[in-house]
Amino acid sequence: MNQPTEPKADKSGVRRHNLSLVLRTVHEAGETTRAAVAARVGLTRPAVSSLVEQLLDLGFLVESGKTFSGQAGRPGTVLKPADTGPAGLGVEINVDYVTVRVVDLTGTDRVRRTEHLDNREPEAGDVLARAARVAAEALDAAAERHLVPAGAGLALPGLVCDGTVRQAPNLGWNEVPAEALFGKALTALRPGTAGLPVASDNEANMAALAELWSGSLGDLRTFLYLTGEIGVGGAIVVHGELLRGAHGFAGEIGHLVVDAEGPLCRCGSRGCLEQYAGQAALLAAADAGGVPDLARRAEAAEPRALAALAEAGRMLGRALSAAVNLLDPEAVVLGGIYPRLMPWLTPALAEELADRVVSGLWTPDAERLRPASAATDAARGAAALVLHDILADPLAHTPAPSA
């Protein structure tokens, strides 16, 4: 996959491929030289220089004044990905907030906006219009930094397929054409974004990609990712790839049944995990006003808070024992509200895993439970997905001069 393609039949196709190869190589290195790129990708120096010139002209790369003596050849001018120009716009719409991020080609988060609001009451179209407004404001801030969106990623809390939210029980959405509605609303606010590609996916999938690409997991390539929100989202990563299933609906850990006769869930089933370990259920059980309040009460060893967290941990452990028995992951990564609450969730959670996982690999001290890193979330993953698209084919993402 990382091999250069030598010119054969389709010369422009080959050049496109090699432009991507050079851009990805510079992106991964952070700072490098033409000679080091040539050595790395196996193309000639003149070929690399020509590709680099085009990437400089199009604004994907910049030269710094510095020279750099790498492992290959004479000192050369340092190349870096541009921190202006094409950028990824990531938008997460969740039940009680919208988060927008703009990430530049170096991978740095340049703009971040979060608005807390209840997305359950308004119509789907109005929620998407709200998200578009937050995105438009973020794009204004990005424009001041000379960043132009090359695409938008849309992270949504539900079953997403072909640009449409098939079902999002916690939002009450069914068959909502989210990509189209969001794109239309954004274009109405900022006509320059007309034609901007929008790609949507489940929010847990996006957050898992953010975690995978952040480097914080080291060599970990097979893991489960849980996001604690109003709902509980889940994603499955196997050997570095999202497992999506036959229709893109895999990973619905929040709807694993932990008590068959338990309370009704908005999905129509009973006793789903999110009825115990979702944010709303957990705060209600603890009689807490929010996650920071819950953490304070737990730190003060308030019995009701501790009991609610232990019960949520136990139910997380019960659902995760099923997921671990089925999928045999190396680790479980807990995101959303969970990292802050792990001190009180983990004991009961780890005990359930130790009791119920057949392989015996999930002993309580196995350290296979890990918090998601603070820098990653679904909006970050959605923006990173756009970056991946740019890196895979920069020519397809040349910013329009008017945008």
Residues that bind a second copy (CB under 8 A): 159, 166-167, 169, 222, 234, 236, 238, 243-253, 255-260, 267-270, 318-319, 321-323, 325-330, 355-356, 358-361
* CB-based contacts of 60, cutoff 8 Å, min separation 6: 23, 81, 82, 85, 86, 105, 390, 394
75 vs 240, beta carbon nearer a second copy: 240
In the complex, the smallest distance separating the C-beta of residue 356 from a second copy, rounded to whole angstroms, is 4
Distance CA 291, CA 308 (A): 12
In the complex, the smallest distance separating the C-beta of residue 335 from a second copy, rounded to whole angstroms, is 17
Distance CA 264, CA 178 (A): 27
Distance CA 91, CA 113 (A): 10
133 vs 356, beta carbon nearer a second copy: 356
**Two tokens, residue 102:** 């703009």
149 vs 158, beta carbon nearer a second copy: 158
In the complex, the smallest distance separating the C-beta of residue 251 from a second copy, rounded to whole angstroms, is 7
197 vs 262, beta carbon nearer a second copy: 262
99 vs 202, beta carbon nearer a second copy: 202
In the complex, the smallest distance separating the C-beta of residue 168 from a second copy, rounded to whole angstroms, is 10
132 vs 273, beta carbon nearer a second copy: 273
Q: 361: number of CA atoms within 13 Å, CB side? A: 12
In the complex, the smallest distance separating the C-beta of residue 222 from a second copy, rounded to whole angstroms, is 4
In the complex, the smallest distance separating the C-beta of residue 157 from a second copy, rounded to whole angstroms, is 12
47 vs 327, beta carbon nearer a second copy: 327
In the complex, the smallest distance separating the C-beta of residue 181 from a second copy, rounded to whole angstroms, is 21
* CB-based contacts of 297, cutoff 8 Å, min separation 6: 286, 288, 304, 305
Q: How many CB atoms lie within 10 A of CB 102?
A: 28
Query: 38-46 long-range CB contacts below 8 Å, 24 or more apart?
Result: 38/72, 39/71, 39/72, 39/73, 41/2, 41/4, 42/3, 42/4, 43/4, 43/18
Residue with tokens 């995760």: 320
